[in-house]
Chain A
Amino acid sequence: MEKKRRPESKSTHQILIEQLKTNMGHLSQVIEEQGKALFVDRGVLGTQDVHEYTLEFLELFVMWLQAGSRLGERTPELTALEQFFSGFARQIQARGGKLETFVRYVQALQRVLIEELEENELYSFEQSREVLLLLARVFNQLVLDVFQAYLREKEQTIEVQQEELRQTSTPITEIWDGVLTLPIIGSLDSSRAMIVMEKLLTRIEEERARVVVMDVTGVLAIDSQVSHYLIQMVRAIGLMGAEAILTGIRPDIARALTSLNIDLGGVTTRGTLSDGLKEAFRRLNIEVRYVGER
């Protein structure tokens, strides 16, 4: 029995090539109209941009069809199409457009090609079906590629922003000779604790700090794991020859630590940052007095 030809056969490609070459002028006009409605009217792209993108798309698409490659094959023509759509999507987003609009445009391209095929009664049902399948697969693949690139970029942006947040949310400040303050804000997980500890120990060495006041007023919740990190920090500070003072333990946190049977024994604590600083000055034999009338 003769093996049935696979969908992306040369005849399918040839049908589309014929359609495109025969109706290039009409097709490009319809595609441009779609582009204008989606982009020009919304101020995302100019008319000339849409015109150029339309011609480039049609050229690249015909080149891919002429190469006759199957959809799963990595060919220069397919890569060129993918790069075209990726660049197009980036351009739209850079100008304030949405990815959703881009997807609608790709759907419009597909629709235009299908409608053009429907008007032509030369092809059999089987041939038409094969063309529809090819168009659906290639355009879905292209949209998926663009969406994946978009997601990767978003994830990278989120990572960069998270890193910036980590850097800025734990400022280590020398508020007096030999006294460092470290306000910890937000959550404290293992990676953040590691980053904070590395920075802190290096600063202790650089500034020759004697006292470190760690304020946890801004820490959302202190559970057994977080208290473990804090104890490790206190210990590391001690190994560097400095003293640690923990401040800002709110009543609810003190209650939670008690219920968890967590013993901060050995760690000097004070209720507020102000009290912590007073303790630091006391340890350094520094006296703060009012001068003149209060």
Chain B
Amino acid sequence: MSGSGERRLNVPGMHLTPLGGGALLLEPGEALDPSAPDPYMDAVLVALARHHCTRLIYDLSGSVLVDEIYYRWLERLAWACRISGAEMVAVNIPPAAAYALALRLKESPPFRCELDVDRARHS
């Protein structure tokens, strides 16, 4: 995942890494609290603007389950990105989490999904 000009922006609970080509990678940590999204949202939007990114890649590889609260956080983040002129792409969602989420969703999510970071960067 290394590239020129990469810097990791550490916010407690998540890591933000500009990947080049207008993509910003968000890796949520265990400390991320989706029920209090505002600090994370601010950090993401600031990073998108600072690095002129038009694509936020959200890595869900560490998420065993995406519950209601977590999904709501993803929705809000996707909307915020859209307002800021960026699109959000969720990647690496585990099959079990995808299955559980599919059972609950009544409509398509407001963000795109790709299999992994590489596809999200080049799609």
The one of A204, A208, A233, A241 that contacts B102, using a Cβ cutoff of 8 Å: A233
Instruction: Give residues 228-260 of A contacting B (CB, 8 Å).
Output: 232-233, 235-236, 238-242
Q: Which residue of A lies closest to B60 (CB)?
A: A239
Min CB distance, B98 to chain A, in Å?
4
Q: Is the CB of B95 within 8 A of A235?
A: no
Chain B residues near A210 (CB-CB < 8 A) = 115
Q: Is the CB of B115 within 8 A of A241?
A: yes
The one of B91, B95, B102, B114 that contacts A232, using a Cβ cutoff of 8 Å: B102
Interface size in chain A (residues, C-beta < 8 A):
18
Interface size in chain B (residues, C-beta < 8 A):
19
- Give chain A's interface secondary structure class: helix
Min CB distance, A261 to chain B, in Å?
16
Q: Which residue of B lies closest to A242 (CB)?
A: B115
The one of B101, B103, B115 that contacts A204, using a Cβ cutoff of 8 Å: B115
Min CB distance, A182 to chain B, in Å?
15
Whether a CB of chain B sits under 8 angstroms from the CB of A117 is no
Q: Is the CB of B93 within 8 A of A235?
A: no
The one of A198, A238, A241, A266 that contacts B99, using a Cβ cutoff of 8 Å: A198
Min CB distance, A265 to chain B, in Å?
11
User: Once the chains are docked, how many angstroms separate the CA of A201 from the CA of B91?
Assistant: 14
Chain B residues near A238 (CB-CB < 8 A) = 108, 113
List A residues at the B interface (Cβ < 8 Å).
197-198, 201-202, 204-205, 208, 210, 232-233, 235-236, 238-242, 266
- Number of residue pairs across A and B with beta carbons under 8 Å? 51
Q: A197-B99, A235-B108, A240-B113 are in contact. List 5 more A-B contacts (CB 8 A).
A: A205-B115, A239-B90, A239-B98, A240-B93, A266-B108
User: Once the chains are docked, how many angstroms separate the CA of A251 from the CA of B72?
Assistant: 39
User: Once the chains are docked, how many angstroms separate the CA of A210 from the CA of B123?
Assistant: 12
Q: Is the CB of B114 within 8 A of A239?
A: no
Chain A residues near B91 (CB-CB < 8 A) = 241
Which 6 A-B pairs give the minimum distances between C-beta atoms?
Answer: A236-B102, A201-B95, A241-B115, A241-B114, A239-B98, A235-B102
Chain A residues near B116 (CB-CB < 8 A) = 208, 241
Whether a CB of chain A sits under 8 angstroms from the CB of B12 is no
User: Once the chains are docked, how many angstroms separate the CA of A201 from the CA of B105?
Assistant: 16
26 contacts between A and B (CB under 8 A): A198-B95, A201-B98, A202-B95, A205-B94, A208-B115, A208-B116, A232-B102, A232-B103, A233-B102, A235-B102, A235-B105, A235-B108, A236-B101, A238-B113, A239-B90, A239-B93, A239-B101, A239-B102, A239-B113, A240-B115, A241-B93, A241-B114, A241-B116, A241-B119, A242-B115, A266-B108
